[in-house]
Structure 1
Amino acid sequence: MFQWTGSSMVMYYMAMLTIEKEIFEAAKIDGAGFFRTLWSIVFPNLKGTTFTLSILGVIGGLKTFDLVWITTAGGPGSSTEFISTYLFRKSMLQQEVGYSSAVAIVLLTIALLITYFQLRIQKKMDN
């Protein structure tokens, strides 16, 4: 949702402050306009921040629980159920601790696999 927008913007702002002013001056002397500077200087320098925020976003999306549980509790039926609400239902409400542990391991494995593939994509983009 939008709860992490503020911290993401702060991270982008801080990353933009680390770009040296001499680079922008050199681009201006070379005749680069606003969009060329944005495309050739700003976006490449923010690649690491974008990558970090994408990993945090995916992991945060897998952990989505509070809004769904408060509003619908995963219902009607199980139409709005996420893996985290399913995990809570199985472990706390139905007392199936062994099964919920297996579900938690699956959730961890999914998060690790997504992060692994994002790291591989990032390495390919860096080369």
Structure 2
Amino acid sequence: MGNTLSRVGSNIHIENAAHLPGDVKATLIEQKEETLNALEHDEQARAAGLLIGIPGTLYLWSVSYSSTAYMEKVGGVWTAYRESYIPNKSTANSFKVISEGNTFEYVFSQYKKYIDYVNEKRGEK
């Protein structure tokens, strides 16, 4: 039996909260703002059509059969980038940084602009 977190206004709703260990509850209370921010980021990513790789940390969008665009937070820095692959090869043959910065909002806005640009080129918007 798992637990699901969701944001309800300025509160965190925990499905099956009675089964959550006390130390995990204490950590959630201690890190409430960070958790609420991560849940909000996930909602924004979902609304933009992104896949959530790691909640609050990694988002993905399939550009094409051989390219994927990522947005991730590493060491407090958000980076959006695109990798392209040759079919049947495990390493990227092309890498492009879309945006990099300290705030989710800035990098996410640049990431969405890239998605809109690609969709426009495809004739999807």
Q: Which has the higher helix share?
A: 1
Ranked by relative contact order (alpha carbons within 8 Å, sequence separation 6 or more), the top structure is: 1
Is the structural similarity TM-score above 0.5? no
Structure of larger gyration radius = 1
TM-score range, shorter chain: under 0.3
If the length of structure 1 is used for normalisation, what is the TM-score?
0.26
Q: Which has the higher strand share?
A: 2
